[in-house]
């Protein structure tokens, strides 16, 4: 079935706008907060509420599409055949709880494994990052230019300090060496925002040892449109179905950074 991606994008943005209002409103109320896999893995009632809101709207409007979300939707999905929505209702839940700032709603629409539409809404800054395959990427309606090149010595890299603290590798190929050779590192606490920041030139790279498709699927659509390169640490397309490593960067920098992450054996628990 052929889809009208423009309409899909506008419809998704309408729901995300509503969801953004719900999130802002919730910051004035007391939140029920739980933990998931470990004490640092937070989830709130709003993560579930927003995911259900988006899922119900998608299922009502596009009954032939599938939905996969971080909290509940599509846990049994094993194939990217057809149209699949990949959603993170709140990316940056720790920020949502602690800072009430720097969190995003991330929505990607993927057809047969190919990203067609990507939207990242940075709720408190009211910044909309949107892209459609082959149609460019936009920040608040303004088209983003193609990324330019930058050397590692002038690059600012998005990287969570936990990966550095736990790294097993040492020496010339280690992350520590990479960080020393870079201009600086930043961690915003939302992978979606960090990928969007790479798309608009606020970061030069973003690296993670473990992310899920809902963290990066929308960012991938944006980044392809501005000519940035996104792969896993072994130079393959990141998985749309299971967790993966992520190396996203301006093209030449991506090649430079592969040296530090290629075949990385991981980190200490």
* Chain residues that interact with Ca ion, rule: CB under 5 A: 70, 88, 90-91, 215
- Considering beta carbons, is residue 150 or 246 the nearer one to Ca ion? 246
- Furthest C-alpha separation in the chain: 54
CB of 142 to ligand IPD, least distance (A): 25
Choosing from 118, 189, 219, 238, the residue that interacts with ligand IPD (CB under 6 A) is 189
Q: If you search the block for the tokens 């072994």, which residue do you land on?
A: 234
Q: Choose one: 25-33, 51-59, 83-91, 224-232; the region binding ligand IPD (CB under 6 A).
A: 83-91
Q: Check residue 213 for interaction with ligand IPD (CB under 6 A).
A: no
- By residue count, the chain amounts to 269
- Considering beta carbons, is residue 230 or 253 the nearer one to Ca ion? 230
Q: Choose one: 27-35, 133-141, 188-196, 256-264; the region binding ligand IPD (CB under 6 A).
A: 188-196
DSSP β-ladder status, 42-44 and 33-35? antiparallel
Q: Are 260 and 173 in contact (CB under 8 A)?
A: yes
Return the bridge partners of 43, or none.
34
- Which option in ligand IPD, Ca ion, none does residue 190 bind, with CB closer than 5 to 8 A by kind? ligand IPD
Sequence-distant (6+) residues with CB within 8 A of 72 are 48, 51, 52, 55
Distances (CA, A) of 44 to 26, 34, 88, 175, 238: 11, 6, 13, 33, 28
Choosing from 51, 204, 215, 225, the residue that interacts with ligand IPD (CB under 6 A) is 215
CB of 3 to ligand IPD, least distance (A): 27
Distance CA 114, CA 65 (A): 14
Distance CA 120, CA 107 (A): 6
93 three-state secondary structure:
helix
Choosing from 51, 71, 88, 204, the residue that interacts with ligand IPD (CB under 6 A) is 88
Q: Are 235 and 123 in contact (CB under 8 A)?
A: no
- Which option in ligand IPD, Ca ion, none does residue 189 bind, with CB closer than 5 to 8 A by kind? ligand IPD
Q: Choose one: 24-32, 184-192, 217-225, 235-243; the region binding ligand IPD (CB under 6 A).
A: 184-192
- Binding residues among 142-161 for ligand IPD as defined by CB under 6 A: 160
- Binding residues among 89-118 for ligand IPD as defined by CB under 6 A: 90-93
- Which option in Ca ion, ligand IPD, none does residue 8 bind, with CB closer than 5 to 8 A by kind? none
- Which option in ligand IPD, Ca ion, none does residue 225 bind, with CB closer than 5 to 8 A by kind? none
- Please state at what angle helix 213-225 crosses helix 191-199, rounded to 10 degrees: 0
Q: What are phi and psi of 31, to 5 degrees?
A: -100, 140
- Please state at what angle helix 5-26 crosses helix 45-61, rounded to 10 degrees: 150
- Binding residues among 158-177 for ligand IPD as defined by CB under 6 A: 160
* Residues forming the site for ligand IPD (CB under 6 A): 70, 88, 90-93, 160, 189-191, 211, 215
């Amino acid at each position: 079935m052929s889809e009208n991606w423009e309409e899909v994008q506008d419809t998704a943005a309408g729901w995300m706008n509503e969801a953004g209002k719900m999130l802002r409103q919730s910051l004035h109320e007391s939140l029920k907060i739980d933990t998931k896999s470990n004490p640092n893995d937070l989830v709130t009632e709003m993560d579930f509420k927003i995911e259900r809101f988006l899922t119900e709207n998608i299922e009502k409007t596009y009954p032939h599409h599938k939905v996969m979300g971080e909290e509940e939707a599509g846990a049994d999905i094993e194939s990217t055949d057809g149209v699949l929505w990949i959603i993170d209702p709140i990316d940056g839940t720790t920020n949502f709880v602690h800072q009430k700032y720097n969190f995003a709603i991330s929505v990607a629409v993927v057809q047969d494994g190919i990203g067609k539409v990507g939207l990242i809404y940075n709720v408190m800054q009211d910044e909309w990052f949107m892209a459609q395959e082959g149609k460019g990427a936009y920040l608040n309606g303004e088209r983003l230019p193609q990324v330019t090149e930058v050397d590692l010595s002038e690059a600012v890299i998005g990287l969570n300090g936990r990966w550095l603290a736990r790294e097993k590798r040492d020496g010339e190929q280690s992350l520590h060496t990479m960080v020393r050779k870079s201009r600086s590192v930043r961690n915003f606490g939302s992978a979606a925002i960090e990928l969007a920041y790479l798309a608009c030139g606020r970061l030069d790279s973003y690296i993670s040892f473990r992310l899920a498709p809902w963290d990066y699927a929308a960012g991938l659509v944006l980044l392809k449109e501005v000519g940035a390169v996104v792969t896993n640490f072994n130079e393959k397309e990141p998985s749309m179905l299971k967790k993966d490593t992520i190396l996203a960067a301006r093209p030449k920098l991506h090649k430079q950074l592969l040296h530090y992450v290629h075949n990385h054996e991981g980190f200490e628990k």
